[in-house]
A and B are shown apart, each in its own frame.
Chain A
Amino acid sequence: MNRRLATAVLAVALAAVAIVLPDFVNAYRLFLATLIVVFATAGVGLVVIMGWTGQIALAHVAFMGIGAYGTNWLFSDLGVPWLLSLLLSALAAAVVGVLIGFPAARLRGFYLAIATLAFAELIVRFFVEADTITGGIAGKPIEIIQLFGLDPDRSQWYIALLLAVVVFTATDRLGRTAFGRCLRMVRDAEVATGSLGISATRYKLLAFGLSGFIAALAGGLFGQLLTYVSPDTFHTALLIQFLVVVFVGGVNRLSGAVIGAIFVVVSRELFQDVGDWQRLVFGLSLVLAVRFLPGGLTSLLPRLREMRRLDRQPQEALS
């Protein structure tokens, strides 16, 4: 009961801080905060496919590209309302995600890494070629939206928050249902799925679709934040940042995406003017996380708690 109350109080306090934040920080800080929220939201998609389902999926940032380009095309060129544009592009990305999932259902380990990298490359190639939609290799300015009659910065912040809350709660709920347990079963005991009447293929396809959907939702907002996107935006450099988001943060937990997003956006900021150092920091943190911290930073707290519990136990037994 106490714990629930504490969580509720914390949630309300966080919401209050989030709502009044634009009045207390300058436009640039607000931009960074929005970027963190968008990165965390996109990270949720990676947690679903890599963390829960255990598939090496390296096409994530290409899905973000589908969201960014698709939303802008529908909204700016075809006059579809912005939120609807975002939703439609996310659905398109989900379909592409399922398509990518088809070979994935048969492939495992690094074969899957190669296939998804190749798909990502093809999608980026498509961004280069489809220049009526994407502006080709030169890129395309993104038409900025202003929802609720707010200035662009605030409007982006509130949309990002809203989207993040929806994505995090929905995914969290989903993770606790039979669906979520089936995904983890595909990861931990794929051999056994067949004998229990669970189709591993079906769940892999759904996981790929869901992760593409989430990536594109975040991608639509990411485009808004960048104000200008080119095919290169959604290439290796961003992919590496997202690998850092989930593997430094912790790939099995949704909170890992938040911690990882803060880590990456702050690192981007600290090493902004020295791009090479930024790359080195991301590379080293990925190497160190894989080597020493397979559960990411979010695994530290439960581990610490466990150690304290083990420390205490003998004394309790004595008394």
Chain B
Amino acid sequence: MIQQVIAGLQAGSTYAMLALAVVLILKATDVPNFATADMGLVPTFVGWQLMDSFDLTYWLAIPAAILFGMVLALVIERIAIRPILAESHFATVLMTIGVFVVLSAVIQLIWGSEPRRIDAPFSGNFEVAGNFVTYDQLATIGLGALITAALLWFFKSPWGVRMQAIAEDRVTPRLLGVRVDRVFSISWALAAAIATVAMTLHTQSTVLTDTAGAPLILKAFVAATMGGFGSIIGAFLGGLALGVIENLAGFYIGTGSRAAVAMIFVVLILMAKPEGLFSKARPREV
């Protein structure tokens, strides 16, 4: 049981990090980014390549990968997203789905479908009160919590406040001298960094394949939905809860239910409490 919960927390922390990347971009630019997972997967492959063919150590390759991911996100934001920012969610949903397809196709073209391993310098496990915890699990859960705390702090900082102001109203902050485009860039770059961390941790504890991103993106959106999309802490808790519930359902009910539980969950939440489980009610825009 506890073993299942720990495994669930690890999966949940991955969902949570991706959900945070989704929420960050949504808060700043009002774009629901369906390409989040693959924007983290491309740099993860780059990191693997750096370790594999240039013999870089993990501690050099992964930061380089994160940097690459941030630059990639800046490029995507500039050429694909910003020109259609004024349009409805209809356009931005389709655009980010298109970006997702392009990124996953590029991964297939460059790296193929063969599974790879990322050798992390921290492997193995330790025992706590009769339960085994791997260092991967510890790192994933710990970093998830750390990123959540950092984002909470960030949204209180001047850049974070500007970001929220812009999400509310794009015109007034500009009149007050806020560089809106710079705020957009920062949100995309930060989100990509978080997504890269999430995908690296996820693929090093499982396996690195070209299709690792697609199943995760819907889970990330489910987690963000549980948190109500506006809330950092909500997205984090939503991710953890989803991971644990999935694992327990898979263990006690059957593996088939594991995949279905997230979907049933999100449909129920959207029908009953679309503002999320952890946030206060908000008046609807007309």
A binds B: yes
Q: Show the binding face of A for B, using Cβ within 8 Å.
A: 54, 56, 102-103, 106-111, 113-115, 117-119, 121-122, 125, 128-129, 191, 236, 240, 243, 247, 275-277, 279-280, 282-284, 286-287, 290-291, 294
Chain B residues, Cβ within 8 Å of A54: 90
Residue pair B88, A109 in contact (C-beta under 8 Å): yes
Chain A residues, Cβ within 8 Å of B270: 103, 106-107, 111, 114-115
Residue pair A279, B218 in contact (C-beta under 8 Å): no
Closest to A107 in B: B270
Q: Size band of the B side of the interface?
A: 35 or more
The 7 tightest CB contacts between A and B, nearest first, are: A283-B101, A109-B89, A110-B32, A283-B102, A286-B98, A280-B105, A279-B105
Residue pair B108, A279 in contact (C-beta under 8 Å): yes
Residue pair B263, A109 in contact (C-beta under 8 Å): no
- In the assembled complex, the CB of A118 is this many whole angstroms from the nearest CB of chain B, namely 4
Closest to B26 in A: A110
Residue pair A128, B256 in contact (C-beta under 8 Å): yes
Complex A-B: 29 CB contacts under 8 Å: A56-B90, A56-B93, A102-B271, A103-B270, A106-B271, A106-B274, A109-B32, A109-B89, A110-B93, A113-B89, A114-B222, A114-B225, A117-B218, A117-B221, A118-B263, A121-B259, A121-B260, A122-B260, A243-B97, A279-B104, A280-B106, A283-B98, A283-B101, A283-B102, A283-B103, A286-B94, A287-B80, A287-B95, A290-B91
User: In whole angstroms, how far apart are the Cα atoms of A109 and B221 in the complex?
Assistant: 14
Chain A residues, Cβ within 8 Å of B91: 290, 294
User: In whole angstroms, how far apart are the Cα atoms of A265 and B142 in the complex?
Assistant: 48
Chain A residues, Cβ within 8 Å of B98: 283-284, 286-287, 290
- In the assembled complex, the CB of B14 is this many whole angstroms from the nearest CB of chain A, namely 18
Closest to B263 in A: A118
User: In whole angstroms, how far apart are the Cα atoms of A107 and B272 in the complex?
Assistant: 11
Closest to A239 in B: B97
Kindly state whether residue B84 has any CB partner on chain A within 8 Å: yes
Within 8 A of A (CB), among B9-38: 32, 34
- In the assembled complex, the CB of A221 is this many whole angstroms from the nearest CB of chain B, namely 26
Residue pair B94, A276 in contact (C-beta under 8 Å): no
- The contact string, 1 if C-beta is below 8 Å from chain A, for chain B 70-114, is 000000000010011001111111110111111111101100000
- In the assembled complex, the CB of B19 is this many whole angstroms from the nearest CB of chain A, namely 12
Partner of A276, one of B83, B88, B99, B109: B109
Kindly state whether residue B62 has any CB partner on chain A within 8 Å: no
- Among B87, B89, B100, max chain A CB count under 10 A is at B89
Kindly state whether residue B207 has any CB partner on chain A within 8 Å: no
Kindly state whether residue B65 has any CB partner on chain A within 8 Å: no
Chain A residues, Cβ within 8 Å of B149: none
- In the assembled complex, the CB of B213 is this many whole angstroms from the nearest CB of chain A, namely 11
Kindly state whether residue B146 has any CB partner on chain A within 8 Å: no
User: In whole angstroms, how far apart are the Cα atoms of A115 and B105 in the complex?
Assistant: 25
Chain B residues, Cβ within 8 Å of A113: 32, 34, 89, 93
User: In whole angstroms, how far apart are the Cα atoms of A290 and B85 in the complex?
Assistant: 12
- Among B34, B98, B104, B109, max chain A CB count under 10 A is at B98
Chain B residues, Cβ within 8 Å of A114: 218, 221-222, 225, 266, 270
Kindly state whether residue B281 has any CB partner on chain A within 8 Å: no
Chain A residues, Cβ within 8 Å of B262: 118
Residue pair A243, B94 in contact (C-beta under 8 Å): yes
Residue pair A240, B101 in contact (C-beta under 8 Å): yes
Chain A residues, Cβ within 8 Å of B103: 283
User: In whole angstroms, how far apart are the Cα atoms of A258 and B80 in the complex?
Assistant: 27
Chain B residues, Cβ within 8 Å of A247: 94
Residue pair B263, A125 in contact (C-beta under 8 Å): yes
- In the assembled complex, the CB of B268 is this many whole angstroms from the nearest CB of chain A, namely 9
Chain A residues, Cβ within 8 Å of B271: 102-103, 106
- Among A240, A247, A290, max chain B CB count under 10 A is at A290
Known: A115-B266, A280-B106. A286 touches B32 (CB 8 A): no
Kindly state whether residue B214 has any CB partner on chain A within 8 Å: yes
Chain B residues, Cβ within 8 Å of A118: 218, 222, 262-263, 266-267
- In the assembled complex, the CB of B84 is this many whole angstroms from the nearest CB of chain A, namely 6
User: In whole angstroms, how far apart are the Cα atoms of A300 and B254 in the complex?
Assistant: 52
Chain A residues, Cβ within 8 Å of B263: 118-119, 121-122, 125
Chain B residues, Cβ within 8 Å of A279: 101, 104-105, 108
Residue pair A109, B90 in contact (C-beta under 8 Å): yes
Chain B residues, Cβ within 8 Å of A110: 32, 89, 92-93
